[in-house]
Amino acid sequence: MSVLVNKDSKVIVQGFTGSEGSFHAHQMIEYGTDVVGGVTPGKGGTYHLDLPVFNTVEEAVTKTGADVSIIFVPPAFAADAIMEAAQAGIKVIVCITEGIPVKDMVAAKHYIKDRNVTLIGPNCPGVITPGEAKVGIMPGFVFKSGRIGIVSKSGTLTYEAADQIVKAGLGISTAIGIGGDPIIGTPTKEAVEMLMNDPETDAIVMIGEIGGNYEAVASKYIRETGNQKPVVGFIAGQTAPAGRRMGHAGAIVGGADDTAAAKMKIMRESGIHVVESPAEIGDAMVKALQEAGINA
């Protein structure tokens, strides 16, 4: 079992013929992902990268049986692309686009709420189940198959965590880059819960950052469910000046509980193995697995 995507996932690319969609679709295909086509309004009936192009997601789903979509659509149209995919019956939507207006995301999240769809992102690197499917923009070569799950707000730190895990002699079950915007489809707690419930994931790396309460909510869930699996945690932004937004639109401290120090304290109190630097993730995970008696 894997989380969200696997070798059987049939993927379409919204914004298929644009420069970003073209480049990353090619990378996903080279990785071995089953990309079955793409959507660019007005170009239906043509072929791109030797795959069919459709005018609508509904047509793409009908013709290809796609159940996963990745979105490379400009910010002004991305929320509509999310809603179109959900309406067409796509089960996993990965939105890479950054800069989507907050009011648009409020509408999109409300629209998909009762539609049995999982949205990852926006402003995220995507999802990868190593050796099976890469639905995103991450460098696939960094990820080796294994039994450690990764949940991260940061794209770059997702890759760093994967590299640290692999260098420690371990591997990745599924890595989920949830995105760094104020409103995202799948917050930290929900992503952690997916991996907690995955029988092929033995432990989890949880990477957060200053701003918001996602990490606190996830930590509370981990504590209340009895620390089922070891979790190694890291919070980015420990040296950020007070009140300064750092990189992501969601990374702005709104109160005392939003700081890196406060989040790390909550995580430690919840039984999470907190590290001060991403460079410590691999060693901390090895130690956490040993303490739990897990041979991963």
Task: Verify that 100 and 170 share a domain, yes or no.
Answer: no
The residues, any chain, with a CB within 8 Å of residue 197's CB and separated by 6 or more, are: none
Distance of alpha carbon 132 from alpha carbon 113, whole angstroms: 28
Report if residue 133 sits inside a domain. no
Task: Verify that 103 and 154 share a domain, yes or no.
Answer: no
Given a contact cutoff of 8 angstroms between Cβ atoms, the answer to whether 183 and 208 are in contact is: no
pLDDT of residue 29: 98
Report if residue 223 sits inside a domain. yes
Report if residue 127 sits inside a domain. no
pLDDT of residue 211: 81
Bridge-based pairing of strands 47-48 and 51-54 is antiparallel
Report if residue 129 sits inside a domain. no
Report if residue 128 sits inside a domain. no
Take residue 292 and report the two structure tokens written for it. Answer: 């739990």
Task: Verify that 111 and 142 share a domain, yes or no.
Answer: no
pLDDT of residue 248: 58
Task: Please give the positions annotated as active site.
Answer: 248
Q: Where are any strands of DSSP class E within the chain?
A: 11-14, 35-39, 47-48, 51-54, 68-71, 92-95, 118-120, 126-129, 133-136, 145-152, 172-177, 203-209, 231-236, 273-274
Report if residue 131 sits inside a domain. no
Count of domains forming the chain: 2
Full residue range of the structural domain in which residue 202 is found? 138-292
The neighbouring-strand residues paired with 29 are none
Task: Verify that 81 and 178 share a domain, yes or no.
Answer: no
Given a contact cutoff of 8 angstroms between Cβ atoms, the answer to whether 56 and 85 are in contact is: no
Task: Verify that 157 and 104 share a domain, yes or no.
Answer: no
pLDDT of residue 237: 77
Report the largest interatomic distance among the alpha carbons of the chain, rounded to a whole angstrom.
Answer: 57
pLDDT of residue 244: 53
Task: Verify that 165 and 103 share a domain, yes or no.
Answer: no
Task: Verify that 94 and 154 share a domain, yes or no.
Answer: no
Average pLDDT for runs of 10 along the chain of length 296: 90 98 98 98 98 98 98 98 98 97 97 96 98 98 98 95 98 97 96 97 95 92 95 84 55 60 94 97 98 90
Task: Verify that 162 and 17 share a domain, yes or no.
Answer: no
Task: Verify that 95 and 205 share a domain, yes or no.
Answer: no
We report the CATH number of the domain holding residue 98 as 3.40.50.720
We report the CATH number of the domain holding residue 149 as 3.40.50.261
Provide the CA 108 distance to its chain's centre, in angstroms: 18
Global pTM reads 0.93
Give the domain-ending residue among 88, 120, 152: 120
Task: Verify that 45 and 90 share a domain, yes or no.
Answer: yes
Task: Verify that 71 and 185 share a domain, yes or no.
Answer: no
Cα–Cα–Cα angle for 151, 153, 154, rounded to 5 degrees: 110
At 218, phi and psi to the nearest 5? Answer: -65, -40
DSSP 174: E
pLDDT of residue 30: 98
Instruction: Please report how the helices 214-224 and 260-269 are oriented relative to each other, as an axis angle in degrees rounded to 10.
Output: 10
Report if residue 282 sits inside a domain. yes
Report if residue 6 sits inside a domain. no
The dihedral sign for the CA sequence 60, 66, 69, 72? negative
Task: Verify that 115 and 162 share a domain, yes or no.
Answer: no
